[in-house]
Amino acid sequence: MQQGVSADIREPEGFLRGSSMIAEIKASRIEFVISVPDITTSEGLLRPLSQGSTPRLIRVCKEDEGVGICAGLSYTERRSLLLIQQTGLLDSVNAVRGVAVEYALPICMMVGLLEKEPGIPPKQSKRYGVRIVEPILDAMGIAYHEIEGDADVAKIGPAIDDAYARSRPVVLLIGRRPS
């Protein structure tokens, strides 16, 4: 293993509880979750969300639709969360660029990192599709937070609050499958 990579390897922080994430999402006053199923969050997050009545789940056919829906909702003072996979985020880059960034709207995205290795920072992933996500967000000037262990769940609420307070997009990168 390369020296530089091994020096940055993180200790896996146990596990990530879907129930904690849902509690945090609800505490953040999210009323709508807009989603295309994501493998990372499918069972631990999307499945239980789909079985509850709040927040209301809106299933979309393609992720850029979700950017538009969240934008429309933002004008109505109703909070929403776009729950997708990084493949969908990459597919939606133009919508995120135009609607979220250039219009300065609080589009909050929770993005599962497909095939990310536990304990490895996304930028150091061996997976090209994982490794490029944060540099793209950096280039677009979009704030992001890594959510990989239960201790990270507390970042969710402040990140969402900040996005709405400053009317700016934010991305929450989910680095492991929630239990």
Residues that bind other proteins (CB under 8 A): 32, 56, 58-62, 64-78, 80, 94-95, 98-99, 102-104
108 closest CA partner among 50, 158, 152, 61? 158
CA 26 vs. chain centroid, Å, equals 15
Q: Which is nearer to other proteins, 75 or 128 (CB)?
A: 75
Q: Name the DSSP letter for residue 150.
A: G
CB of 87 to other proteins, least distance (A): 16
CB 146 within 8 A of CB 13: no
> Measured from the CB atom, is 26 or 78 closer to other proteins?
78
Least separation in angstroms between residue 42's CB and other proteins is 19
> Which CB atom, from 70 or from 111, has the smaller least distance to other proteins?
70
> Residue 22 or residue 95: which is nearer to other proteins going by CB?
95
Q: How far is the CB of 35 from other proteins (least distance, A)?
A: 11
Q: Which residues contact 132 (CB under 8 A, 6 or more apart)?
A: none
Nearest CA to 146 out of 176, 126, 114, 172 is that of 172
Question: Min. distance of Cβ 161 from other proteins in angstroms?
Answer: 19
